[in-house]
Amino acid sequence: MSKIKMPKSSPNLDMTPMVDLAFLLVTFFMLTAQFRPEEAVAVDTPSSMSQSPIPMTNMMTIVVDTTGKVFWDFTDKGVRIAVLEELGKRVNYVPTEEEKIKFVNAGPIGVPIQDLKALLSLETGSERKEFMAQHEGIPMDSTNNQLRDWIMITRNIFYNDAGQNPVVALKADGNTVYNRVAEVIRTFQSPGIQISKFKMITDLEASRI
């Protein structure tokens, strides 16, 4: 009985199309991926059913973290620098070019105006984070409501530039005591600002993803 001879063909597959595709996908993901910037403030926003998106430009965000500290953030570079210069005038502080760049890239800022200089003299992001952790955020007491100054200056600068008001968003941690958030909203409504329309930033409810 003769054995059936197995054909001795080499099992070589042409892998070229697969490799092409693999590299195409790799390139796509590498080019489109944006690493999420390290959050200077950890905020776990509550989830809601609302699906309306938030704008990526021209938006002022007031951030409230779990402990109730208040931070200010703005999306656009030019406005950020102008706000820093304007706030600096109040405490006789003229920021250097280097400090302006740091301010632009710093994300949410939460220190009293008089401590801005000390904050921006620090070199690294983690040092600034540490510095802000030791401070009480932007003061919002009735006698010294600096949050009001921040908002008013931002709005004035933006309005002079663009002829309209910026979008205002409130980003608060789900576990913040509501009364603290209500204080921010009262500041929004205080005379001279009177923001009655704003966005509350939420995560999409898990069931909707």
Partner 1 sequence: MAQVPEGGGDSGGKGKRRAKKANTHIDMTPMVDLAFLLLTFFILTTTMYKPSSLQMTYPVPPPPDAPPPPPTQLSNAITLLLTKNDQIFYYLGEFRDQPTEKGPPTTLERTDFSKVQKLLVDQNKATIAQLNDVARQFNEKKITEDEYNAKRKEIKGTKENLKAIIKTDKDARYRNMIDMVDEMDISGIGSYGVLDTLKAAEQVLLDIEKAKL
The H or E element containing residue 16 is: helix 16-32
In this chain, which stretch among 43-51, 109-117, 123-131, 156-164 interacts with partner 1, using CB under 8 A? 43-51
Does 39 interact with partner 1 (rule: CB under 8 A)? no
Q: Which of 2, 142, 196, 207 binds partner 1 (CB under 8 A)?
A: 196
- 54 or 162: CB nearest partner 1: 54
Task: Kindly give, in sequence order, each residue whose CB lies less than 8 Å from that of residue 68, ignoring residues fewer than 6 positions away.
Answer: 137, 176, 177, 180
Does 112 interact with partner 1 (rule: CB under 8 A)? no
Does 41 interact with partner 1 (rule: CB under 8 A)? no
Q: Which of 37, 164, 178, 192 binds partner 1 (CB under 8 A)?
A: 178
Q: How far is the CB of 175 from partner 1 (least distance, A)?
A: 6
Q: At what angle do helices 178-189 and 146-162 cross, to 10 degrees?
A: 50
Does 151 interact with partner 1 (rule: CB under 8 A)? no
Q: At what angle do helices 146-162 and 77-90 cross, to 10 degrees?
A: 130
Using CA atoms, how far apart are residues 97 and 84, in angstroms rounded to an integer? Answer: 11
Using CA atoms, how far apart are residues 165 and 105, in angstroms rounded to an integer? Answer: 23
Does 56 interact with partner 1 (rule: CB under 8 A)? no
Does 81 interact with partner 1 (rule: CB under 8 A)? no
Q: How far is the CB of 47 from partner 1 (least distance, A)?
A: 8
Among residues 64, 59, 65, 104, the alpha carbon closest in space to that of 85 is found at 104
Does 207 interact with partner 1 (rule: CB under 8 A)? no
Does 33 interact with partner 1 (rule: CB under 8 A)? yes
Q: How far is the CB of 180 from partner 1 (least distance, A)?
A: 8
Residue 106 gets which letter from DSSP? S
How would you classify residue 145: left for phi > 0, otherwise alpha for psi between -120 and 50, otherwise beta? Answer: beta
Using CA atoms, how far apart are residues 75 and 28, in angstroms rounded to an integer? Answer: 26
Residues at the site binding partner 1, with contacts judged by CB under 8 A = 15, 18-19, 22-23, 25-26, 29-30, 33, 36, 45-54, 64, 169, 172-179, 181-182, 185, 188-189, 194, 196-205, 209
